[in-house]
Amino acid sequence: MTIATATRSGRPSVRTLLLREFDYSGFVFYTDYSGRKGKELAENPQAALVFYWPRMGRQVRVEGRVFKVSSKESDNYFSSRPRDSQLSAWASQQSRVVRNRGFLEERVKRFGEKYPSKIPRPPYWGGYRLEPSVFEFWEERPGRLHDRLRYRHSKGGWIIERLAP
């Protein structure tokens, strides 16, 4: 999925990451809380997601408020990750400038030696859940007369609106 976040002042950034789970309460992803994405979400806990399938001519957009998942959820997911991914979470200080790739490889080696068996979750790493307030479903149609349906959450439920392409 693609996620867009913004600073408190509104400066946007967007990147692609892996959706790890979704259910009625929202969409869950995991990251370094101290990286750019985490800092932006701390300043401005609103985000937008996009799922795009070009061959099918379909797209789904989701907007909502983002909350950290519980420590237990983050611990459970972290423990399910491959060892190399766990070590990478410790070794990589996400979004920071590094001298070279060798610097990162050395950090992975060092943390591998520090944690020869079970690797704990770094305190600065964990999950977020985007709780949706808006869904927009887009379907490609001939002549660029695409279908767009928006679902907006309101106190009484969901309001469905057709949007012009």
Q: What does the block give as tokens for 41?
A: 């979400």
Report the amino acid identity of residue 5: T
Q: Which residue has the tokens 């937008």?
A: 48
Backbone angles phi, psi at 131, to 5 degrees: -90, 115
Q: Beta strand pairing status for 157-162 and 147-154?
A: antiparallel
Q: What residues are annotated to the active site?
A: 144
Residue 37 burial (C-beta neighbours within 10 Å; 0-12, 13-18, 19+): buried
Nearby residues of 86 by Cβ (< 8 Å), 6 or more positions away: 78, 115, 119
- Nearest Cα neighbor of 128 from 81, 65, 36, 83 is 65
